[in-house]
Amino acid sequence: MSSKKDIWRSLSAHQKKMQDIRMGDLFSKDSARAEKFTLSYDALTLDYSKNRITEETRDLLLELLEASGFQEKRAAMFAGERINTTENRAVLHTALRNVAERPVLLDDEDVMPEVIAVWEQMQAFEEAINSGDWTGFSGKRMTDIVNIGIGGSVLGSDMVIDALKDFHTGKLRCHFVTNVDATEINDVMQSLNPETTLFLVASKSFTTQETMANARTARNWLVSHYNGKEEAVADHFVALSTNEDAVKEFGIDTDNMFPFRDWVGGRYSSWSSIGLVTCLMIGFDNFKSLLEGAYMADMHFLKADPAENIPVMLALVGIWYRNFWDAPCYSVVPYFSRLKKLPLWLQQVDMESNGKYVTAAGKIVDTATGPIVFGYPGTDAQHSYFQLMHQGTDMIPADFIGILKPAHTVRAQHDMLMANMLAQAEALMLGQESPNDPARYFPGNRPTNTMLLEKLTPYTLGLLMAVYEHKIFVQGMVWEINSFDQFGVELGKVLADRILGEVAADAAGAHDSSTMELFARCFKKS
């Protein structure tokens, strides 16, 4: 087998040969092209034929995959090896959706009994809340949930709940509070009745700065309503955490603490007890269906041949553009408004995972890593940033995502939506000649993947999410980075704590002149 460096050089040489080849010509010369570059699994179809690739490209990318140790590294993740080397942790979010309940070993201990116990705890709690058996301090049933968290404690659950509105039980309203800006939590609380509000505090450590600031504000609001009776907290707060002492000190009954382990990364945690808010909104059976869809994606990723493996091919095509075409950005465009928040979730999962400049071995990378991810639903996006995609100076690869059978019955508008999706992909590929008017010239040859789901259900959404998670893992593996730490999140928090200490002391420390001047303006006492 050729070395990874040799394959990389071959791909670079191949890219030079591909620069003047147009996708439209590739289709004209090969009537079977679409079939050759289309993969289907379960309810998901990927057509990646509208890319600047040939069978030779695919073969070289697959060689790169193999030379990167894909088989061994994929197996290591599923086996519970500590592939998060900087934190000495396993990466076992796949165990959280292991609905087959087969043993998953971590240091020779099966983690599945604990996972199943949390499922059972979540199911019992969901049934108690939605049946009205759980009541607040004054004996009233819950009508509203406020999920307090940030980052991975929110983005996945918020996206899933928004996407699955057709599956809501209809018994609860849901609100998310994420920003340390008190405006957000105050706006939420103004519309709520404290006696019918349940707070979920999502923080593994129960020390996250933004989350705990909002949790204390909510606690004060509730206790004030009950005239200082702090015992009311236990009837209106639950914790998604592992810090039993801090949870107890806050006033939450530890029987209402839903744990998750350190092998669950924040951005992969919506499958864990962090998904309790999802469970409450769509019911436990639908939450379990979400896990089942993700589990099926896991099995496909684990067992399918690389050339037939949807997350693998998505990853390799992404590497082709990021590393050999110098494309820094990548857009995700769901042609279904219920998936509006999918790009936001992907921004965190992708950029927090692969936004790294050192390898897992601690050396400076010698290739570009994670792309800038952005997106918005079609057709809205067509009237905003698609101009840049069509006629801008940068090539921006894109994923288009369509749902074949919507829950509504307005067929004519759904046909219009799907027609727009197909037309945009074709227009980006073919472009438009306009010899007499340069402003109307479209260069074309701009790549897209198109993914189709039969329907949007908890099952298919879980399938789609897990496919993207595995795509990101493959790319990080090829780049030889650790996709599972996120130290870049932490430095700003450390410095914020330092500045807050200086505010309390009414004395700025040593900073650059800009920060000193801004400190004086921001914390000037009136």
pLDDT digits (tens, 9 = 90+) for 134-153: 999 999 999 999 999 998 88
pLDDT digits (tens, 9 = 90+) for 445-467: 999 999 999 999 999 999 999 99
SS (H, E, C) 205-220: CCCCHHHHHHHHHHHH
φ, ψ (nearest 5 deg) of residue 46: -120, 120
Q: Which residue has the tokens 């949007």?
A: 456
Instruction: Give residue 377's pLDDT.
Output: 97
Instruction: Give residue 315's pLDDT.
Output: 98
Tell me which amino acid residue 428 is.
Answer: L
pLDDT digits (tens, 9 = 90+) for 402-425: 999 999 999 999 999 999 999 999
pLDDT digits (tens, 9 = 90+) for 320-363: 999 999 999 999 999 999 999 999 999 999 999 999 999 999 99
pLDDT digits (tens, 9 = 90+) for 251-288: 999 999 999 888 998 899 999 999 999 999 999 999 99
What Cα–Cα distance (Å) separates residue 414 from each residue in 280, 309, 351? 30, 29, 32
Instruction: Give residue 8's pLDDT.
Output: 97
pTM of the predicted model, to two decimals?
0.96
| pLDDT surpassing 70 at residue 188 | yes
pLDDT digits (tens, 9 = 90+) for 228-259: 999 999 999 999 998 999 999 999 999 999 99
Beta bridge partners, 39, equal 46
What Cα–Cα distance (Å) separates residue 99 from each residue in 95, 413, 464, 483? 8, 37, 17, 25
- Name the pLDDT band for 393 (thresholds 50, 70, 90): very high
CB 25 within 8 A of CB 294: no
Average pLDDT over residues 501-519: 89
H helices of 364-410, where? Answer: 386-391
DSSP secondary structure string, 122-161?
HHHHHHHHHHT-SB-TTSPBP-EEEEE--GGGTHHHHHHH
Instruction: Give residue 509's pLDDT.
Output: 85
DSSP secondary structure string, 283-338?
-HHHHHHHHHHHHHHHHHHHHS-GGG-HHHHHHHHHHHHHHHS---EEEEEEESGG
Mean pLDDT of the chain: 96
What distance in Å separates the CA atoms of residue 200 and residue 219, rounded to the nearest whole number?
A: 11
What tokens does 145 get? 């949930």
pLDDT digits (tens, 9 = 90+) for 284-311: 999 999 999 999 999 999 999 999 999 9
pLDDT digits (tens, 9 = 90+) for 467-502: 999 999 999 999 999 999 988 888 888 888 899 898
Give the number of other CB atoms < 10 A from CB of residue 221: 16
| pLDDT surpassing 90 at residue 508 | no
CB 265 within 8 A of CB 2: no
Any idea of the CA torsion for 488, 490, 492, 494, to the nearest 10 degrees?
-150
- Name the pLDDT band for 526 (thresholds 50, 70, 90): low
Instruction: Give residue 492's pLDDT.
Output: 81
- Name the pLDDT band for 1 (thresholds 50, 70, 90): low
Residues 507, 513, 517, CA angle at the centre, nearest 5°? 60
The residues annotated with a catalytic role in the active site are: 352, 383, 493
Instruction: Give residue 238's pLDDT.
Output: 97
